[in-house]
A and B are shown apart, each in its own frame.
Chain A
Amino acid sequence: MDHLTSETFDANARAALNDAQLRGALKNATSLFGKRRLAAAHSVSNWEDLRSEARRIKDETLLHLDKYLEQFTVNAEEAGAQIHWARDAAEANAIVKEIAQHKQARLVVKSKSMTTEEIHLNSALEAVGVEALETDLGEYIIQLAGETPSHIIAPAIHKTRFQIADLFVEKLGIEPTDDVVMLTATARRVLRQKFAAADIGISGVNFGVAEAGTILILENEGNIRLTTSLPKVHIAVMGIEKVIPRFADLEVFLKLLPRSGTGQHLTSYQSLITGTKRAADGEGPDELHIILLDNGRSKMLAHPTTRQSLACIRCGACLNACPVYQQIGGHAYGSVYPGPIGAVITPQLIGLKKASQLPYASSLCGACREVCPVKIDIPELLLHLRAEITEGSEVRDERSEPVKRKTGERLAFKMWAAVMTRPRLYEFSARVGHLLQGFIKRGNRIGKVGGLIGRLAPPLAAWTGTRDLRPIEAKSFRQQWRSAERS
Chain B
Amino acid sequence: MTNTSREARDAILQSIQANLAASEGIVHTDHTIVPYRGELLRAGASLSRTEKFRERLESVGGYCYIVKSEDEAARALSAIIGELQSKDAAKRIALSDAPLVSSLARGIAAEEIDVCPLPADLFNYDVGMTMAQAAIAETGTLVLAAERERHRLVSLLPPVHIAIVYSRDIVDTIGDALTQLRGDATGMSRAITFITGPSRTADIELTLTVGVHGPKELHVIVIEAASEAS
Binding site for B on A (CB under 8 A): 25, 28-29, 32, 42-46, 49-50, 53, 56-57, 60, 63-66, 69-70, 79-80, 82-87, 91, 94-95, 135-138, 141, 154-157, 160-161, 164, 180-181, 183-185, 187-188, 191-192, 196, 212, 214, 220-223, 225-226, 229-230, 240, 245, 247-252, 254-255, 262, 264-279, 282-284, 292, 294, 298-304, 307
How many Å lie between the Cα of A484 and that of B195 in the bound state? 57
Contacts A43-B42, A135-B213 given; does A251 touch B20 at CB 8 Å:
no
B36's contact among A44, A49, A247, A269, by CB below 8 Å, is which?
A49
Contacts A46-B36, A248-B182, A277-B191 given; does A65 touch B16 at CB 8 Å:
yes
Binding site for A on B (CB under 8 A): 1-2, 4-6, 8-9, 11-13, 15-17, 19-20, 22-26, 28-29, 31, 33, 35-42, 56, 60, 119-120, 123, 138-139, 141, 146-147, 150, 152-153, 156, 173-175, 178-179, 181-182, 187-207, 209, 211-215
Closest Cβ of chain B to A230, distance in Å, is 6
B9 touches A85 (CB 8 A): yes
Q: Which 7 A-B pairs have the closest CB atoms?
A: A222-B214, A46-B38, A138-B203, A222-B213, A85-B9, A302-B19, A270-B194
A250 touches B17 (CB 8 A): no
B5 touches A84 (CB 8 A): yes
CB-nearest residue of chain B relative to A95? Answer: B5
How many Å lie between the Cα of A137 and that of B12 in the bound state? 35
A44's contact among B24, B41, B195, B214, by CB below 8 Å, is which?
B41
Contacts A85-B9, A294-B15 given; does A91 touch B4 at CB 8 Å:
yes
A276's contact among B23, B26, B189, B190, by CB below 8 Å, is which?
B190
Q: Beyond A229-B191, A250-B178, A274-B190, list 12 extra A-B contacts (CB 8 Å).
A: A43-B40, A65-B16, A154-B202, A180-B209, A184-B209, A196-B119, A220-B200, A221-B200, A225-B213, A226-B214, A272-B194, A307-B23
16 contacts between A and B (CB under 8 A): A43-B42, A44-B38, A80-B190, A137-B213, A196-B120, A196-B123, A220-B201, A221-B201, A226-B213, A229-B153, A229-B191, A248-B175, A268-B195, A271-B193, A283-B146, A304-B26
B174 touches A87 (CB 8 A): no
A265 touches B56 (CB 8 A): yes
Closest Cβ of chain A to B57, distance in Å, is 11
A183 touches B204 (CB 8 A): yes
**B36: chain A residues within 8 A (beta carbon):** 46, 49, 53
B212 touches A222 (CB 8 A): yes
CB-nearest residue of chain B relative to A154? Answer: B203
How many Å lie between the Cα of A85 and that of B192 in the bound state? 26
**B38: chain A residues within 8 A (beta carbon):** 44-46, 49-50
